[in-house]
Amino acid sequence: MLSRLLKMLGATSFVLALTGCGGGRLEAWEKATGARSQSLQGASDLLGVTVPVLRAQGLERVWGAPKIQRDGKGGYTLTYADPKQPFTRLMIHGMTEGLPKLSSPPPFGGEHMVNDTLTGYEKEQEWRKVTILGESVRWFQESASGGADGAYFSTEGFVLKAPDGRKGYYRLVAEHGDTAVADVERWFGSVSF
């Protein structure tokens, strides 16, 4: 009886691991995106970048040239920032390798005042979808705004093929106000080669 129960628990754990339930996929995502952020170095150009460069040309016309960072592995990050609005920016991560897939959008958290006390909260959410160069890409809110930061929004990692046939892996991140979902979706959908 006990051995049958242990086998069932083992099988259940295996199925949960395969389907991405629990924190395993989220932990892998957070580890990969954190390591990527730490590998970035400021640069004045895109020399050495081997993935096709995805840009936000409309934001570049309005906000100016992006800040460039390279990861030393052929990837890059372009950061477009509104010079008039702090905490309003779009980051395009171009990578030579894909990110781990998320099985569901992670809950996002923040802080708000309850009875004159700053209290943390966490909210479940559904995937949002945006079309980027003909591909359907899922995205979600990473965190609420607060203190010295705006709300953060992120796509999951996705693959695009440039007009020359080369493939790249990408992730878009936006910082903006909590109620700026329409702006963020427009920014995500406006990127191009």
> How do residues 10-37 score in pLDDT, each as one tens digit?
333 333 333 344 457 778 878 878 777 7
Domains in the chain with CATH codes: 49-108+119-193 (2.60.120)
Q: Between 99 and 113, where is the model more confident?
A: 99
pLDDT in tens, 123-166: 899 999 999 999 999 999 988 877 677 889 999 999 999 999 99
In this structure, the strands spanning 67-70 and 151-155 are unpaired
Q: What pLDDT sits at residue 112?
A: 66
Q: What pLDDT sits at residue 144?
A: 81
> What is the Cα–Cα distance from 59 to 88, expressed in whole angstroms?
11
Residue matched to tokens 């708000």? 112
Least Cα distance to 101 among 24, 29, 173, 19 occurs for 29
Least Cα distance to 43 among 80, 88, 77, 73 occurs for 77
Mean pLDDT to the nearest integer, 77-90: 94
Average pLDDT, the chain: 84
Beta carbons of 121 and 66 less than 8 angstroms apart: no
End-to-end CA distance of the chain: give it in Å, rounded.
61
Positive or negative torsion for Cα 169, 175, 181, 183 = negative
Pull the structure tokens for residue 183: 């702006």
Pull the structure tokens for residue 113: 């005042």
